[in-house]
Structure 1
């Protein structure tokens, strides 16, 4: 009898593990692709004869497209199937980079940015819809943390991989090889049997849950929170290397090591944050504390000419603290989402990342063109302080909505 009962449980566990691994691989690709163009800024600037503000405009275009399509992709993920949406996104993102490698020009750069923005809009709605449908409730925070860790890891290794590809194949070859990763991973997901998540999965005895208002006050506050998170990190992630080289006398290699430390320890912090997310409801307070310390560290980087070892250590600590909050951030969204609307909820709040992505490339590109690289870090400090203040609001808003919902369930 014990074996009979254990077999379905083991099968469910194996399916959940396989799903988490496959989704995490896809998320790795999404963050890797996001940093391919910024890591090639020196090459693109020289080949295209443009300034950093023109290159930043390409990232803004990508963010605008992703922001406009994020919520619609959440709708598609909830209604036609998150698996289909995710596979198409991987293929489109890969094609965008391959296309630019074959036809290098500024107009093709903008076209590639449009397709990259469209591809990027699918990952959060599709990934989280599948995870919410297939992960164990008691381990949801850790599942989110592993998924986010994979994305951070993709970004962390992007500088080294792109630099290696440029050394072996040149800038154009780097674009083509990096792009080919997308469709290859899509084939891996198909071969691995990635499960789907759609409206049909939420039906009980053929009856679909009633429609609910998805745009709640809690999700609006979380969207603003995501926007500030994006602005806090985008300057360092996209312009950190050129800022350290231009304003601090850092070499290309030492600047890349510092950025890799920032991104790599962000990934480590995400794993630590997963355990916190499963053990506390004070997610907003965790975010506020981490970003308050981060603001102090980044302020030191902005104002002091740190030697290379200390710079790398400071960047690593800032990355770690930034990563710790990510699973708690995702749990706030998941708790605030109406039943059966995880794809749309994550699509809406992830628009905040895109709103930040629209502003940050132009802002930080303008800062670099004005010859003020120190303000890449200084502006990040300002956004971190604002993030701390809003984190304390998110602590109350989503949790309050959750408690009201629990009270209604008890009364009924």
Structure 2
């Protein structure tokens, strides 16, 4: 309680206009950017029918957006250090909207390639900058708010593609994209108005001490844990539909099962961020990763009905660790380099999410789907000793409540 009060007084002394305003502005940006990211999945079949594009070209389009978003996060973090996070995020949000305007005017593959590169460039600004803004606004109390911020991204993933599909009933896909782009302009203006122009680095003196005594090693360990956690999640989800199919699930049942996982995942991001603030990093990561390993193995032996009952819990555990890890980034980042640390962390986890299905897929071809799923559980278990090794590199207040 003393720590929370001290952090609150510290925030007030820095003249932070409103913690809540910063959080909700970051949440709005996260919801929009993640929604923009997943909107591409809705557009791919439309573009295939409109322009007679093959599956390979469609995969290339999706890859362009993902590559530009992931590859530019570190450079955008550096840009934010020079011109300010608020300016960078507002311009990035507007740039993503412009990308969808260009897509609406595109008449073929080349135009769509240009549009999605522009969209990806704009989307690359959000994760490092908005995460750092929430961290700096809440200082040592940021773990729970970062869980709320991560939860907002899942809301956007559900709301924007579904809203876009409803708009398609009323208008062409060109006009739908321009309407969605207008929403992006509104959020860009909101970021420019409501996000603080600058916030002081988080716990600069304490962080400088930790950095001098091995803070870089702490961040490296955290990054490895984050990448393995993302690999477990994406590897398991890659094989889940096939496992359900083996159990006799129909396509509609598989869709419902995935929805159960995603609902549980959204709840996990929200709940585990706050749980990490209460129990500490080590206890929460040990519980979620051990639970993930056990739940994955249980899915392999349960009948279909049991799997469907368990899947929301699986989703909660799969996604819950991420909120705890994101909330730890500012604690192990070099003093004053929070944006860069978030940029590197998100680049690593997004890269792991992209490569893990390929690696586990190759393993599945070699030894079978069940063995590959067991490998994801083993990967989750590998995180446990890494978390124990990470614990001494964290502030004492982060180990337990």
TM-score, reference length from structure 1: 0.75
Between 232-241 and 272-281, report the one with greater CA deviation: 232-241
Aligned to 1:409: none
Aligned to 1:178: 180
Task: Supply the distance in 2 between the matched residues of 1:242 and 1:385 (Cα, whole angstroms).
Answer: 20
Task: Supply the distance in 2 between the matched residues of 1:11 and 1:403 (Cα, whole angstroms).
Answer: 22
Q: 2:324 aligns with which of 324, 328, 346?
A: 328
Kept in 2, the 8 Å contact 1:90–1:183? The answer is: yes
Where 2:84 maps in the other structure, the secondary structure is helix
Aligned to 2:3: none
Kept in 2, the 8 Å contact 1:19–1:195? The answer is: yes
Task: Supply the distance in 2 between the matched residues of 1:52 and 1:239 (Cα, whole angstroms).
Answer: 21
Kept in 1, the 8 Å contact 2:35–2:160? The answer is: yes
Mapped pair 1:392 → 2:385? yes
Where 1:135 maps in the other structure, the secondary structure is helix
Task: Supply the distance in 1 between the matched residues of 2:144 and 2:202 (Cα, whole angstroms).
Answer: 27
Kept in 2, the 8 Å contact 1:63–1:357? The answer is: no
Q: Deviations over 1:258-279 (max 9, x none)?
A: 4443333322222211221112
Mapped pair 1:264 → 2:263? yes
Structure 2 CA distance for partners of 1:277 and 1:264, relative to 1, 3 Å: same
Kept in 1, the 8 Å contact 2:86–2:195? The answer is: yes
Higher relative contact order structure (alpha carbons within 8 Å, sequence separation ≥ 6):
1
Kept in 1, the 8 Å contact 2:236–2:376? The answer is: no
Structure 2 CA distance for partners of 1:10 and 1:346, relative to 1, 3 Å: closer
Q: Deviations over 1:218-265 (max 9, x none)?
A: 3333333333344444478899899989995414xx655544433333
In the TM superposition, what are the counterparts of 1:30-49 in structure 2 within 5 Å? Answer: 30-49=33-52
Structure 2 CA distance for partners of 1:298 and 1:219, relative to 1, 3 Å: farther
Aligned to 1:338: 334
Task: Supply the distance in 2 between the matched residues of 1:42 and 1:314 (Cα, whole angstroms).
Answer: 32
Aligned to 2:75: 72
Q: Deviations over 1:357-379 (max 9, x none)?
A: 54368789999xx9xxx96x986
Aligned to 1:250: 251
Where 1:216 maps in the other structure, the secondary structure is helix
Kept in 1, the 8 Å contact 2:215–2:393? The answer is: no
Q: Deviations over 1:39-93 (max 9, x none)?
A: 3333333334344443333333333223322112222223321111111111111
Q: Deviations over 1:271-305 (max 9, x none)?
A: 2112211122314313412421442366479xx7x
Structure 2 CA distance for partners of 1:364 and 1:123, relative to 1, 3 Å: farther
In the TM superposition, what are the counterparts of 1:1-400 in structure 2 within 5 Å? Answer: 15-137=18-140, 139-191=141-193, 193-197=194-198, 201-202=200-201, 216-234=216-234, 249-251=250-252, 257-281=256-280, 282=282, 283-296=284-297, 299=300, 306=304, 313-359=309-355, 382-383=375-376, 385-397=378-390, 399-400=391-392
Task: Supply the distance in 1 between the matched residues of 2:53 and 2:155 (Cα, whole angstroms).
Answer: 30
Structure 2 CA distance for partners of 1:311 and 1:51, relative to 1, 3 Å: farther
Give how far 1:330 is off: 1.4
Kept in 2, the 8 Å contact 1:228–1:384? The answer is: no
Task: Supply the distance in 1 between the matched residues of 2:114 and 2:54 (Cα, whole angstroms).
Answer: 18
Aligned to 1:401: 393
Task: Supply the distance in 2 between the matched residues of 1:240 and 1:184 (Cα, whole angstroms).
Answer: 38
Kept in 1, the 8 Å contact 2:148–2:270? The answer is: yes
Matched residues, number: 377
Where 2:334 maps in the other structure, the secondary structure is coil
Question: What CA RMSD, in Å, does the superposition of the two structures yield over aligned residues?
Answer: 4.2
Task: Supply the distance in 2 between the matched residues of 1:32 and 1:347 (Cα, whole angstroms).
Answer: 19
Structure 2 CA distance for partners of 1:313 and 1:178, relative to 1, 3 Å: farther
Kept in 2, the 8 Å contact 1:76–1:85? The answer is: yes
